[in-house]
Amino acid sequence: MTAAADPTPLVIYNPPNARKVLTPSEWSQLASTIDGITGIKVLGGDATWHAEMRPVADQLSVFVAGIHLASGIIQGCARGSYSNLACLSPKGAVQWGRRIMADPDLALQQEAQIRKVFGTAMAPFRGKFSNTALDKALAAAGGWAGLSPTLRWPLSSISSLDVQQLSTQFREGLPFLFEDALPNP
């Protein structure tokens, strides 16, 4: 793949639902042996994972799920994040990113809250819907773009009723992401 993409470097996405989720040592081996990889998109992890990923972060740009951004940056592994939190509230994600730099302790507390609310709210949909459906439902629940959660066939969509419930869960559980945001859809 890197040869076919040359001279454009690749960012490899290894989602948590992939058949094989690479370990930090496997990422390190890839980064050391294959030219043409510039970054990776991974879930993130606990303190042990961060310690093992630091050498990889010296070689590649590591992007973690938005719900793991504070710990990823504070632990010295993440350069940025992707999708879930920004889908829900782009403005809130930017504000939270600034908070990570300005008040790391508060950001870590909020990350724990974000992970708890996301875990509860999204649990009924994981494994049943595509990442596209999850991201579009988050964007619709966030209400920032006036989107419907409906996807084109053949992908299944999360219902509008479920999206309204998600919106309520996120706004009540994570009010700091919706400060100065649009009204509830």
Q: What span, in angstroms and rounded, lies between the C-alpha atoms of 60 and 62? A: 6
Give the pLDDT of the chain (185 residues) as one tens digit per residue.
Answer: 999 999 999 999 998 888 999 999 999 999 999 999 999 999 998 999 999 999 999 999 999 999 999 999 999 999 999 878 999 999 999 999 999 999 999 999 999 999 999 999 999 998 899 989 999 999 999 999 899 999 999 999 999 999 999 999 999 999 999 976 444 44
pLDDT value of residue 180: 63
Are the C-beta atoms of residues 169 and 162 closer than 8 Å to each other? no
Contact residues for 56 (Cβ-Cβ < 8 A; gap 6+): 24, 27, 28, 31, 40, 62, 77
pTM across the whole model: 0.87
CA angle at 65 for the pair 36 and 116, rounded to the nearest 5°: 165
